[in-house]
Structures are given as C-alpha cells and as structure tokens.
C-alpha cells in the first residue's frame, strides 16, 4: 500500500487509536509512527486526533452498525477512523470506503474486509437517521463522557457548553518569546516576514494565525521562542520571583514553566520531576534556550530524599491533575480518565502541598497550579489547605476556562506569614 495513500493513513491511525483504547496515551501511541514518512505520519496523526475528539460519536454509531462487538481492536479502530473521514469528507465517500477496505486487508489476514465494507456502506445508507440519533444522545453529541458532563454542569451551569465546545475544538498554536533576547513585537515582525502572521496574547505570547512546524519558526533552535499555551504562561507571571531568589519548580517536566521563570529573572532554580525521561526534556529545553537550572529526578513529596534543608523563596507546584483543561490538545484524556481518578489526583495534590509548604521561607510565595477545570482539584483543594495551614494567606486566584485564546488552568498564589 503506498505510504501517501489514504488507506495507509487510515491504517496507521487505527493502530494509534487501538493503542489508546488499550490504555496508552495518544502521545505514546503516535511515537510508533516516528519511522514513517512525514506525509504519512502527518495524515495519520490528523485522523487519530479527529477520531479521539469525536470518539463518543463514533462509538455510538458503531454500537448501532455492528450486530455484535468486534473483537479485533485495530479493525474496530479502523472503522472509527473511516467514519470520521466519511463525516468530515463526505464528497469523497467512495474513496474512503474503498481505502478503508484496502487497509482492512492488512489486518488479521484480511478476514474483516467484508465486514468493514458492509458497515461503512450501511452507514452511508442510514446516515441521516443515525446522525439524528447521535445528536439526541448526550455523550455522542457533546463528545465527552457522561460523568464528565455531569461534573461540568454542576460546577459551571452557565459555562459548561462553552467548556465542552472548547474541548472539542482544535487548539491554537501559541509562542512564548524569550524576552531576554528580543521583544514580542520584534519577533512578530520576523514571523510576518516569514509568512506566519501572529497576534499578541499576554505579556510574552504570540498566537499564530495558522499552526506551523517549529522548523518554520525563525530562531527557534537558537532559543528565541518556545511553544507554550498562553494560559500556561501565566504561571511564571504570577509567581514572579525576584532576581537572585532560590526557587523550586516541583513538578517541572517538560520544562516550559521552568524556562519561562528563568527568562524573566536570574534565579537559583531547582527543577524536579519524578520521571527520568521527562526530566531529560527539561534539560533539552534549557540547553536550547541557553538557560541554567539544577535538574534532578525526584518525587517532590518525598522531601527527605532530595531536600538539603535550605528553604525556598518561591515554589511552583504545578501538580499532577486530570488535565481536564487541555483536552483539545490531548483528546485521549477524555476517554482514558475515570471519575474515580479525580479523587486520586486530589489525594496526590494534598500530599504535595503539605510536603512543600514547610520548605518555604516565612514571607515566601507558593503558586499552586493545575491544568484542570474540576473544582475538587482547584478551589476545593486550596480551601482545605488554608484550613490546615493557618500561616498561609491567599494572595490571588485565577480560574482560566478554556477559550480560543488559551487552555484551561487554575492558579492560587499563596504566601507564608513572615
């Protein structure tokens, strides 16, 4: 099968989606495509992301098109990929069906070619009635699990639909200009000359009109600019440590917030992460930007294993969370998460807060950060912490709901009593 054919991209996307359905993250699943030609990898990635953004819709349709559950995971995922293409490229329906059948010939010895052909043609015959039924089903129509929708409706009765719509959309590409090297307006002029217009967002950000490869960004490999969501850029702006401060970035990988802190001021910064592979990403980012920090592999809550007793002037606690605010970038999260996971994340967050607070100097600041929109991980977590810690004062809170301009984040800036 030609590497630039639709059938090949459907097959590669099906393998990635099947891996996600088996519990892998989409990022991890797409790594398996790294040796494919760029054109094939890009096309497969586009389909895989589309399938997972519309996963509830696709599963709803297959539930009505299959007489019994399909036991071959990659063929099931291939049908999801083909349904996505049929809905987004209806003018090419004949080609999509033909190429999906060709792709099915590469799976399980081709025994499901007839099934794939029959299911897809049945969808085209019944398309109007099936789409009407999907539109009437909450999970299929909203593209979020039912438990997730219940939580959003309860927490945001006026905004839940906007949050859902943002979660189903394609994210913008936002850059953070290294202000040590040049001003955002100057870099915007460089982008314009390169044919990549962008508009300013926040203090250091530029949102591109259209996403591009980092290879196309002027000076990217020279450290002039980084890719970082505008909402994520608020962390360094809110913590705002003074030059010379001793700073802890407690859950630092992949290093975007670490680098932004160092771009804003000369700091003595310790960056920790529990994952050795992700810790290497911190070092790579710092090297590209010509910045320096002490980087260590460590569980930040296991203080006795890494802390030398020297208190910090400022701490960034960008804690593990549900990532419910960034699902447009990671659509697999909606379907990999379970409702019980939120409670487990909250327990981890509590442990991290309680472990790090004693490490802060009197008068020092701690910024608690999540990329979640669920209150249990955000305001509920901080309210409980303030009860446990009478020497903690809340200086500022920001709940950023997902918008066109940024993803969803929560920030609580706390100060320890002098």
Q: Is 371 a catalytic residue?
A: yes
Which strand (E) or helix (H) includes residue 53? Answer: helix 38-53
Instruction: Kindly report which listed range (33-42, 111-120, 217-226, 372-381) carries the lowest average pLDDT score.
Output: 33-42
Does a structural domain hold residue 168?
no
What's 135's domain CATH number? 1.10.940.10
Are the C-beta atoms of 271 and 255 separated by less than 8 Å?
A: yes
What are the tens digits of pLDDT across the range 46-83? 999 999 999 999 999 999 999 999 999 999 999 999 99
Does a structural domain hold residue 132?
yes
264 and 223 in one domain?
Answer: no
> Considering 251, 300, 321, 371, which one is annotated as catalytic?
371
209 and 92 in one domain?
Answer: no
Predicted local distance difference test score (pLDDT) of residue 128: 96
DSSP code for 137: S
What are the tens digits of pLDDT across the range 395-412? 999 999 999 899 999 999
Q: What would the mean pLDDT of 226-254 be, rounded to a whole number? A: 97
Percentage of the chain with pLDDT > 70?
100
Does a structural domain hold residue 159?
no
Predicted local distance difference test score (pLDDT) of residue 42: 92
Residues 151, 373: Cα–Cα separation, whole Å = 10
* Structural domain span for residue 219: 174-227
Q: Is 63 exposed, middle or buried (0-12, 13-18, 19+ CB in 10 A)?
A: exposed
- Is pLDDT above 90 for 2? no
- Is pLDDT above 90 for 4? no
Q: What would the mean pLDDT of 299-312 be, rounded to a whole number? A: 97
Predicted local distance difference test score (pLDDT) of residue 1: 83
279 and 196 in one domain?
Answer: no
- What average pLDDT does the chain have? 96
φ/ψ (deg, to 5) at 227: -90, 120
374 and 242 in one domain?
Answer: yes
Per DSSP, helices labelled H in 301-402 are 333-336, 339-356, 379-388
412 and 354 in one domain?
Answer: yes
Does a structural domain hold residue 98?
yes
Does a structural domain hold residue 14?
yes
Q: What would the mean pLDDT of 196-205 be, rounded to a whole number? A: 96
**Could you write out the DSSP letters of every residue in 83-135?**
HHHHHH-GGGHHHHHHHHHHHHTTSGGGTTHHHHHHHHHHHHHTHHHHHHHHH
Residue with tokens 């699990």, as numbered in its chain: 145
Predicted local distance difference test score (pLDDT) of residue 30: 94
Q: Which of 143, 161, 185 is the last residue of a domain?
A: 143
What's 187's domain CATH number? 3.30.70.1170
401 and 266 in one domain?
Answer: yes
Which strand (E) or helix (H) includes residue 188? Answer: helix 184-193
Predicted local distance difference test score (pLDDT) of residue 74: 97
Residue with tokens 């085209």, as numbered in its chain: 124
Q: Which of 193, 208, 227 is the last residue of a domain?
A: 227
Q: Which of 91, 120, 143 is the last residue of a domain?
A: 143
Predicted local distance difference test score (pLDDT) of residue 271: 98
393 and 249 in one domain?
Answer: yes
Residues 395, 172: Cα–Cα separation, whole Å = 30
289 and 220 in one domain?
Answer: no
Residues 329, 171: Cα–Cα separation, whole Å = 6
Q: What would the mean pLDDT of 383-396 be, rounded to a whole number? A: 97
Does a structural domain hold residue 90?
yes
138 and 79 in one domain?
Answer: yes
Does a structural domain hold residue 165?
no
Angle between helices 127-135 and 113-125 in degrees, nearest 10: 80
Between the alpha carbon of residue 364 and those of residues 84, 314, 318, the distances in Å are: 51, 6, 17
Does a structural domain hold residue 149?
no
Q: Is the peptide bond before 342 cis (omega within 30 degrees of 0)?
A: no
108 and 194 in one domain?
Answer: no
- Is pLDDT above 90 for 3? no
What's 366's domain CATH number? 3.40.50.150
193 and 121 in one domain?
Answer: no
Predicted local distance difference test score (pLDDT) of residue 243: 97
Give the three-state DSSP class for 223.
Answer: coil
25 and 109 in one domain?
Answer: yes
Q: What would the mean pLDDT of 342-346 be, rounded to a whole number? A: 97
Predicted local distance difference test score (pLDDT) of residue 324: 98
Q: What's the total number of domains in the chain? A: 3
Residue with tokens 């419910």, as numbered in its chain: 324
């Amino acid at each position: 099968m030609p590497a630039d054919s639709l059938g090949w991209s459907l097959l590669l996307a099906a393998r990635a989606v099947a891996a996600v359905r088996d519990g892998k993250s989409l990022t991890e699943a797409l790594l398996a495509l790294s040796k494919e030609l760029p054109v094939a990898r890009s096309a497969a990635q586009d389909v895989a992301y589309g399938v997972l953004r519309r996963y509830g819709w696709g599963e709803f349709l297959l539930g009505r098109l299959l007489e019994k559950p399909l036991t071959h995971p990659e063929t099931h995922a291939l049908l999801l990929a083909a349904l996505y293409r049929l809905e987004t490229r209806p003018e090419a329906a004949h080609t999509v069906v033909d190429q999906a059948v060709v792709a099915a010939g590469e799976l399980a010895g081709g025994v499901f070619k007839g099934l794939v052909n029959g299911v897809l043609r049945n969808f085209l015959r019944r398309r109007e009635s099936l789409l009407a039924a999907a539109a009437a089903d909450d999970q299929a129509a909203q593209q979020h699990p039912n438990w997730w929708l219940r939580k959003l409706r309860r927490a945001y009765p006026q905004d839940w639909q906007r949050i859902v719509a943002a979660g189903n959309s394609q994210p913008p590409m936002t850059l953070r200009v290294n202000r040590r090297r040049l001003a955002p307006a100057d870099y915007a002029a460089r982008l314009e000359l390169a044919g990549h217009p962008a508009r300013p967002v926040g203090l250091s950000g530029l949102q591109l009109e259209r996403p591009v490869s980092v290879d196309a960004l002027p000076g990217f490999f020279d450290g002039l600019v980084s890719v970082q969501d505008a909402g994520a850029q608020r962390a360094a702006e809110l913590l705002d440590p003074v030059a010379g401060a001793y700073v802890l970035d407690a859950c630092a990988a992949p290093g975007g917030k670490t680098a932004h802190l160092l771009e804003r001021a000369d700091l003595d910064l310790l960056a920790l992460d529990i994952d050795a592979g992700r810790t290497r990403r911190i070092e790579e980012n710092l090297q590209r930007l010509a910045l320096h920090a002490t980087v260590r592999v460590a569980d930040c809550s296991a203080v006795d294993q890494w802390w030398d007793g020297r208190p910090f002037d400022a701490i960034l606690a960008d804690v593990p969370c549900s990532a419910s605010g960034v699902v447009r970038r990671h659509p697999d999260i909606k379907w990999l998460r379970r409702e019980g996971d939120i409670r487990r994340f909250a327990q981890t967050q509590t442990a991290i807060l309680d472990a790090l607070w004693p490490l802060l100097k009197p008068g020092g600041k701690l910024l608690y950060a999540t990329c979640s929109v669920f209150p249990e991980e955000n305001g509920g977590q901080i309210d409980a912490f303030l009860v446990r810690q009478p020497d903690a004062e809340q200086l500022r809170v920001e709940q950023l709901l997902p918008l066109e301009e940024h993803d969803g984040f929560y920030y609580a800036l706390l100060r320890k009593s002098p």
